[in-house]
């Protein structure tokens, strides 16, 4: 429900009445140095104006200082054009400071001067400045009236730069009047003319307002493209007022397009500029975007903080629409937190402000109609005293105005009905979002339950392996060692023939082999080096044991593994993953060389196992019900990791695993 920030501050100065326009960027230090060599004549007035123009978008107080110097010198010299220059430029600064009433009075004064002493273009510019003042004061009927007067004069002059500014301001009016298609038409024309005249200064502003029309029509990609181009221009021209607006609008556009990860950068930068420029409305809008960002990130404490900041700033200036937007966000946060009473309270506040705004607009329209009706009625009464024929005309006009009032009432009812329907749809949307959030939490719970089950299975397997390894090593291993010792005593006590001696020795060798094989089995089930010396040593020992067989060469490398901090279950799981991968290669790959690397980076452990074997079809293995790969996948899932297998026939296999430790 957040309304995108509308920027109009830079369009009130139609002209500067000098060859160097307010949009041209000059070296202000050089201009100030020139003051010492110029006498107090009309050229000095023009220089004061040029210096002020270089300060107006970043140091407005300094700009006012030089404009006042230009005014005083112009009055001293009787230089009417200099006075008009002063009025045109200082009203620009007053509008940037939201001093719209002051700017309006000065602009009306400039119109009178231009009518008596100015050129056609100067008069058009002054009329346009008056229209902009009415626009900022939301007196749209007056603004359109003066814009149409200015348009007629500009059409006669053929000045494309002025026409571009005029189109942009007309676009702003139609944005406010909720006519996005017509607003876009004027905004596109304004951008086109600014490009033709290479007017970078106003091009940035025009692109910003064009983006607003795109946002209102749901064309978010086009809006973002326009805003990004406008941002580059604002930075190039050092126009911090436009830059603030663009940053805040970009944050809002990315929120509406669902790209929440991009909101924070632009919203924070926009908020900082708004603070520097003391723009309370801009702060409120920027904080609102930050609140939506943290809500998306499920950081409800931060979301609530910025939503409350947005509410506080909007309330400080009684900004109804930003305040309604803040209540909307606070309601969503309360809903996510399942604080349904607070949700209902904030929704009621939001609806109250929306209804108040609509009612004020309707009341103003009705008052305008009544004023027009009363004025016309007085005229008709005067005519009735002068001539009898006016009586019939008076009745006809009365009926017309009554019809207008009736139409106004009908429109009011329709608007209220529309608001009720929209409120219902929003409630349905919120319920749908809550259901989706609930289903997502159920899915997360099922995954967590599956991981818990996997952990229990793995722990059970490792416990059972440990027990079996101990039983084999201590029990059966001890028995075989005892049998070997008994055979050695028998060998010494019995006299045998040479054939019997060889048979006896071969039996002892077989017994030795059985003991060695038993120890290997016990070691594989639960390696002692893992328990005594850690993961790095146990894996190196295991790789060396495969190399010692002579069947293939295993190269082992570890990076920062000595810094690994994990519980015994995790260490055993990692060991089993590598062990199972190597066992698969030994059994199936027909490889001659294997490369194993474990690298620790922050809280991620990467495992890479490569071989030069015959390779295989990865998809077939993924779909295979084989125990080996399933064991590896389960262990990787248990450690919240990912596994990527790359293999081609006769080109070997590479397995990359990324584990979160």
Domain membership flag for residue 211:
yes
Are both 132 and 179 inside the same structural domain? no
Are both 137 and 24 inside the same structural domain? yes
Residue 427 has pLDDT above 60, yes or no: yes
- Give the model's pLDDT for residue 67: 93
Q: What is the mean pLDDT of residues 415-441?
A: 84
Are both 142 and 124 inside the same structural domain? yes
Number of domains into which the chain is organized = 3
Residue 13 has pLDDT above 50, yes or no: no
Strand 653-660 relative to strand 604-611, pairing: antiparallel
Residue 377 has pLDDT above 80, yes or no: no
Q: What is the mean pLDDT of residues 156-161?
A: 81
C-alpha 357/C-alpha 318 separation (Å) is 12
Reported pTM: 0.45
Q: What is the mean pLDDT of residues 198-211?
A: 90
Q: In terms of residue numbers, what domain contains 552? A: 529-660
| Tens digit of each residue's pLDDT (9 = 90 or more) over 206-247 | 999 999 999 988 999 999 999 999 999 999 988 888 999 999
* Of 17-26, 191-200, 223-232, 362-371, the least confident: 17-26
- Which of 230, 257, 284 terminates a domain? The answer is 257
Give first-to-last CA distance, the chain, whole Å: 42
Domain membership flag for residue 600:
yes
Domain membership flag for residue 419:
no
* Of 36-40, 155-159, 425-429, the least confident: 155-159
- Give the model's pLDDT for residue 196: 92
Contacts 24+ apart (CB under 8 A), 458-464: 458/569, 458/572, 458/573, 458/576, 458/634, 458/635, 458/638, 459/569, 462/526, 462/569, 462/572, 462/576
- Give the model's pLDDT for residue 465: 59
Tokens of residue 47, six digits: 């220089």
- Give the model's pLDDT for residue 156: 81
Alpha-carbon distance values, 302 to 100, 306, 566 (Å): 36, 6, 32
Confidence band (pLDDT; 50, 70, 90) for 491? low
| Better pLDDT: 9 or 283 | 283
Tokens of residue 222, six digits: 């086009």
Q: Which residue has the tokens 């041209």?
A: 24
Half-sphere exposure (Cβ direction) of 629: Cα atoms closer than 13 Å: 15
Domain membership flag for residue 38:
yes
Domain membership flag for residue 628:
yes
Domain membership flag for residue 511:
no
Are both 100 and 118 inside the same structural domain? yes
Q: What is the mean pLDDT of residues 167-182?
A: 85
Residue 379 has pLDDT above 50, yes or no: no
Alpha-carbon distance values, 580 to 213, 561, 576, 644 (Å): 60, 20, 6, 15
The chain-wide mean pLDDT, for the chain, equals 80
Are both 24 and 86 inside the same structural domain? yes
Domain membership flag for residue 624:
yes
Which residues are paired to 554 by β-bridges? 594
Considering Cα of 72, then 76, then 80, then 82, what sign does the dihedral take?
A: negative
The secondary structure of residue 184, as a DSSP letter, is: H
Are both 251 and 110 inside the same structural domain? no
C-alpha 333/C-alpha 342 separation (Å) is 9
Residue 462 has pLDDT above 70, yes or no: no
Tokens of residue 509, six digits: 């060798």
- Which of 213, 231, 257 terminates a domain? The answer is 257
What's 223's domain CATH number? 1.25.40.10
What's 620's domain CATH number? 3.30.565.10
Edge-to-edge, what's the strand order for the sheet holding 553-559?
Answer: 553-559, 593-601, 604-611, 653-660, 642-647
| Tens digit of each residue's pLDDT (9 = 90 or more) over 499-552 | 667 767 777 677 666 666 555 555 555 566 777 788 898 999 889 988 988 888
Residue 8 has pLDDT above 60, yes or no: no
Are both 148 and 213 inside the same structural domain? no
- Give the model's pLDDT for residue 5: 45
Residue 390 three-state SS: helix
Q: What is the mean pLDDT of residues 187-193?
A: 92
Backbone angles phi, psi at 39, to 5 degrees: -70, 175
- Which of 121, 155, 189 terminates a domain? The answer is 155
Residue 257 has pLDDT above 60, yes or no: yes
Backbone angles phi, psi at 319, to 5 degrees: -85, 100
Domain membership flag for residue 66:
yes
Are both 133 and 38 inside the same structural domain? yes
| Tens digit of each residue's pLDDT (9 = 90 or more) over 640-651 | 899 999 998 888
Are both 140 and 207 inside the same structural domain? no
Are both 126 and 164 inside the same structural domain? no
| Tens digit of each residue's pLDDT (9 = 90 or more) over 40-87 | 999 999 999 989 888 887 788 888 999 999 999 999 999 988 888 899
The enclosing H or E element of 658 equals: strand 653-660
Residue 224, C-beta contacts closer than 8 angstroms, at least 6 positions apart: 211, 250, 253, 254, 257
Spatial CA neighbour of 660 closest among 608, 596, 600, 582: 600
C-alpha 327/C-alpha 321 separation (Å) is 10
- Give the model's pLDDT for residue 55: 86
Are both 26 and 139 inside the same structural domain? yes
| Tens digit of each residue's pLDDT (9 = 90 or more) over 609-656 | 999 999 988 887 776 656 678 888 888 988 889 999 999 888 899 999
Residue 394 has pLDDT above 90, yes or no: no
- Give the model's pLDDT for residue 365: 46
- Give the model's pLDDT for residue 16: 34
Are both 133 and 13 inside the same structural domain? yes
- Give the model's pLDDT for residue 370: 43
Confidence band (pLDDT; 50, 70, 90) for 9? very low
Residues 555-564 as b/e (b if ≥16 CB within 10 A, e otherwise) read ebebeebeeb
């Amino acid at each position: 429900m957040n309304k995108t920030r509308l920027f109009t501050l830079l369009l009130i100065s139609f002209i500067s009445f000098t060859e160097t326009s307010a949009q041209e960027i000059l070296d202000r230090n050089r201009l100030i140095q020139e003051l010492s060599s110029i006498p107090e004549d009309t050229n000095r007035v023009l220089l004061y104006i040029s210096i002020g123009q270089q300060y107006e978008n970043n140091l407005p107080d300094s700009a006012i200082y030089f404009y006042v110097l230009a005014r005083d010198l112009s009055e001293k010299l009787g230089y009417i054009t200099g006075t008009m220059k002063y009025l045109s430029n200082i009203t620009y600064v007053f509008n940037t400071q939201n001093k719209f009433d002051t700017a309006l009075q000065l602009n009306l004064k400039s119109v009178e001067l231009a009518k008596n002493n100015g050129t056609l273009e100067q008069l058009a510019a002054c009329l346009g400045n008056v229209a902009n003042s009415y626009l900022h004061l939301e007196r749209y009927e007056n603004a359109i009236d003066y814009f149409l007067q200015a348009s007629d004069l500009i059409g006669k002059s053929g000045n494309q730069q002025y026409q571009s500014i005029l189109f942009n301001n007309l676009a702003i009016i139609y944005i406010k009047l909720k006519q996005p298609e017509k607003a876009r038409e004027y905004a596109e024309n304004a951008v086109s003319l600014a490009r033709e005249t290479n007017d970078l200064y106003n091009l940035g502003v025009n692109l910003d307002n064009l983006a607003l029309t795109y946002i209102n029509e749901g064309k978010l990609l086009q809006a973002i493209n326009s805003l990004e181009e406008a941002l580059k221009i604002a930075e190039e021209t050092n126009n911090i007022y436009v830059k603030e607006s663009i940053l805040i609008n970009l944050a809002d556009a990315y929120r509406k397009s669902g790209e929440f990860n991009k909101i924070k950068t632009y919203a924070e930068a926009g908020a900082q500029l708004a603070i520097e420029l003391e723009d309370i409305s801009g702060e409120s809008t920027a904080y609102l975007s930050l609140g939506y960002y943290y809500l998306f990130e499920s950081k409800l404490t931060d979301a609530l903080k910025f939503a409350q900041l947005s509410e506080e700033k909007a309330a400080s200036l009684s900004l109804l629409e930003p305040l309604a937007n803040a209540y909307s966000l606070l309601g969503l946060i309360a809903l996510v937190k399942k604080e349904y009473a607070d949700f209902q309270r904030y929704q009621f506040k939001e609806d109250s402000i929306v209804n108040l705004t609509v009612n004020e607009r309707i009341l103003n329209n009705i008052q305008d109609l009544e004023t027009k009706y009363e004025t016309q009625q007085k005229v008709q009464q005067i005519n009735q005293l002068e001539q009898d024929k006016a009586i019939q005309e008076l009745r006809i006009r009365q009926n017309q105005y009554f019809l207008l009032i009736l139409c106004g009432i009908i429109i009011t009812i329709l608007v209220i009905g529309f608001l009720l329907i929209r409120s219902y749809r929003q409630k349905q949307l919120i319920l749908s979002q809550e259901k989706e959030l609930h289903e997502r939490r159920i899915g997360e719970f099922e995954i967590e339950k599956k991981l818990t089950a996997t952990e229990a299975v793995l722990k059970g397997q490792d416990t059972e392996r440990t027990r079996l390894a101990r039983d084999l090593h201590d029990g059966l291993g001890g028995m075989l060692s005892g049998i070997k010792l008994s055979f050695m005593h028998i060998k010494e006590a019995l006299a045998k023939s040479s054939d019997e001696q060889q048979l006896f020795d071969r039996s002892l060798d077989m017994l030795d082999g059985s003991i060695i094989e038993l120890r290997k089995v016990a070691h594989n089930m639960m390696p002692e080096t893992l328990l005594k010396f850690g993961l790095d040593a146990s894996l190196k020992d295991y790789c060396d044991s495969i190399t010692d067989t002579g069947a293939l060469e295993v190269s082992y490398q570890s990076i920062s593994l000595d810094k690994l901090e994990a519980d015994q279950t995790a260490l055993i799981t990692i060991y089993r993953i590598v062990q199972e991968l190597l066992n698969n290669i030994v059994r199936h790959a027909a490889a001659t060389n294997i490369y194993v690397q474990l690298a620790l980076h922050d809280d991620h452990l990467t495992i890479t196992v490569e071989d030069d074997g015959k390779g295989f079809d990865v998809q077939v293995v993924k779909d295979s019900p084989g125990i080996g790969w399933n064991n590896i996948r389960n262990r990787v899932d248990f450690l919240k990791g990912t596994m990527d297998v790359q293999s081609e026939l006769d080109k070997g296999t590479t397995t990359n695993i990324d584990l979160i430790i």
